[in-house]
Amino acid sequence: MRVLLSGVVGSTAYGLARPGSDVDRLGLFAAPTEEFHGLRRPTESVVRTAPDQTWHEAAKWCRLALAGNPTVTELVWLPSELYEVRTPLGDELIGLRERLLSARAVRDSYLGYATQQLRKLAGRDRTEPATLARAAKHARHLVRLVEQAVALHETGVLTIRLADPERVRELGERIAATPDLAEGLLADAVHRLDRPGALPQAPDEAAVESWLRRVRRAHLTPAQAA
């Protein structure tokens, strides 16, 4: 794969990792342009486990980012030390990160993911220690997603590294034991996200399209690279 940008994401990036935690990696790659002219489209995603690694083809990554996908979006907001591959085209994409955002996509996607985490919590048997530990992980993600969404909406900046990971961990454990505690958190987030914020109503698709066309021109033949 011609990887344009990749880095360490997940609990390590958030500051929630502990000894033994998985190290998750996310990246985007460019398929050779000529592969888009055959009967079958090139592979859009590559997922591997042990260790966990996910790469999305450039066009798919852009579509997911424009839709506000939290996991995909964080790739262009990582602290610099967490990047493992940075090419000139990858740096260009980082430079476009604000243009990928929109108020509606952030609201719908981040709160949608947080609500999914709450549903998972509500459906778990919390009497088993192992199950409770898993529930705590979902609860931490819920808290993180809600706080990131509100901050992103109000400031236009996505902060990956949590300011107080232990507070998020402790709150996650309380929510895991009593999922109803999350309802107030979500309600407050909905209220704040419904107010005017720093994000535009629509992303700058033209700028993203221009970047993607530069990617395609840079990979017209197998011998060329970004």
- The amino acid at residue 123 is G
Same domain, residue pair 14 and 56: yes
Tell me how far apart the alpha carbons of residues 96 and 208 are, in angstroms, rounded to a whole number: 7
Q: pLDDT category, 124, cuts 50, 70, 90?
A: low
Same domain, residue pair 71 and 125: no
Same domain, residue pair 9 and 89: yes
pLDDT at 130: 63
CATH number at 71 reads: 3.30.460
pLDDT per position as a tens digit, 23-81: 999 999 999 999 998 888 899 999 998 789 999 999 999 999 999 999 999 999 999 99
Same domain, residue pair 117 and 189: yes
Same domain, residue pair 138 and 155: yes
Dihedral sign of CA atoms 95, 165, 109, 138 in order: positive
pLDDT at 129: 63
Q: pLDDT category, 20, cuts 50, 70, 90?
A: confident
Q: Is pLDDT above 50 for 122?
A: yes
Q: What 3-state class would DSSP assign to 81?
A: helix
Ramachandran category for residue 117: left, alpha or beta (phi over 0 → left; psi -120 to 50 → alpha): alpha
pLDDT per position as a tens digit, 141-196: 999 999 999 999 999 999 999 999 999 999 999 999 899 999 999 999 999 999 99
- Neighbour order of strands in the sheet with 2-9: 45-48, 53-57, 24-30, 2-9, 83-86
Same domain, residue pair 10 and 93: yes
- Domain count for the chain: 2
Decide if 138 contacts 176 (C-beta within 8 A). yes
- Give the residue numbers spanning the domain of 26: 2-100+203-218
Tell me how far apart the alpha carbons of residues 57 and 135 are, in angstroms, rounded to a whole number: 32
